[in-house]
Structure 1
Amino acid sequence: MDIRVHGSGPAAPFLSAQDRFETEHDLSLPVTVRLKDDPDERTWAAHYDDYHVLNISRQAASSAMASELALHEFAHMARHEQAHPSHTQSIDEVLYLALGGKRVERRQLAHCYQIANHMKDIYADDITLSVGPGKKLLAFLESSLATAVADRPNPPSRPGLERISPSADPEITAVNAAFALALGERHDLLEADHRLYDLAHAAAMDAPGVDFEGFRQRFRELAEEPDSSTYKQVLVDATRSYVGDERMAAE
């Protein structure tokens, strides 16, 4: 596995992630790490015919999560090289199959892409968590969900109108919570009293129209090696479940 870091910044986190990754996996193509100036630049991987690219901000590369972020992106690269259905299936094709002929809100379409990305992350983290402990990942998921799920406001004058997560979209927050729980449960990372359960419960209560338990089960029980047809149907079903017939209007 060949890694080359471009830009000024620390190389140690990427080399550490490489060492952990290579205990059980490898990449056929070289990896170019590009350190970005923008502190808000998200960490993401790009794939080309003869190399992969890991884009990350210098701030993220200097954080306590840097090695774990790199390891996660290496896992995405491995899934891409394996031509795993989760990393080759066209999401646009899935949306056409699931929602063709219907009118759907733009935000819901964005959420459908996020649901598909959650499934890609499940498969990437099956690799990530096979080569290292999940303590930091679990803490990251807990922190992210806690940020989205705010404390209850003061009791309103009309019961039932309060929202537990007033600053975040409650529907996708509930799906995100289902993903976090599912990943933890899939890899036996959660004790019964873990705070994620309380946070997820709050998120689910705030979005009663979302099938929280259905998404939790769907994420947790994704088949390890699905064929392309099976995986496509899983994505179609998840998309239809999220959008729901009552939210779609025929054109």
Structure 2
Amino acid sequence: MKKSNRLGPEPWRPSGATDQSPAERVLAALTEQVGPVTTAELVAVIGLHANTVRAHLQELTEAGLVRMETVASVGRGRPAHRYSITDEGRAVPRVNDPAFAEYRGLTTAFATYLASRSDNPSDEAREIGRAWGRQLGDDAGPGRADPAGMIMQLLARLGFTPVPPPATNPGEGIALRTCPLLELAEEMPEVICQVHQGLVEGALDQAGASSVGVELLPFAEPGACRLHLRP
């Protein structure tokens, strides 16, 4: 994804946008492939440098959006790798995703209302987020076995581009690299960020993982917010 020195995530852009980041272009290209493809085949489709494609494939693989398989080489030489998109990768929102479109529209409407009319917009926003998260949790299915995986898939679908922590340091939490409502979040974080925290709490509750603690750190670092899920 794009690198930046500003605190917080990048704005989410639909997959059809002309100003997609290179990683988004790689993911979009994989969505259109019939089967696993090599780096060279993706380069031919996208037109980016092989090193750029290779680096973003690694990033997307670590995020669980792309699957890598090793193919034995014929004769001498290193084994080749082929890549395909995962179910989580396919869940990354598109402009025609009804849940994503509804989320953006409704959140924008009630956030503006709460910010101007409510005496306690943060608490009310969090409760609204919980209610919306419980509804989305019905679609996510049981999350007791893997609450982090369930939340990763849900947030990917809503436009947050979640990236899991490295296995060597799980305490880093989930990095949220994009935000579908970034302009509003910068203008009224006490409303939008509380909606997002409540959304995760509600989804976990509905999926049977209400014992998992949720801590959202908005604009925590350059290029991301941080989400911590703790027993």
The normalised TM-score by structure 1 is 0.28
The structure with the largest helix share of the pair is: 1
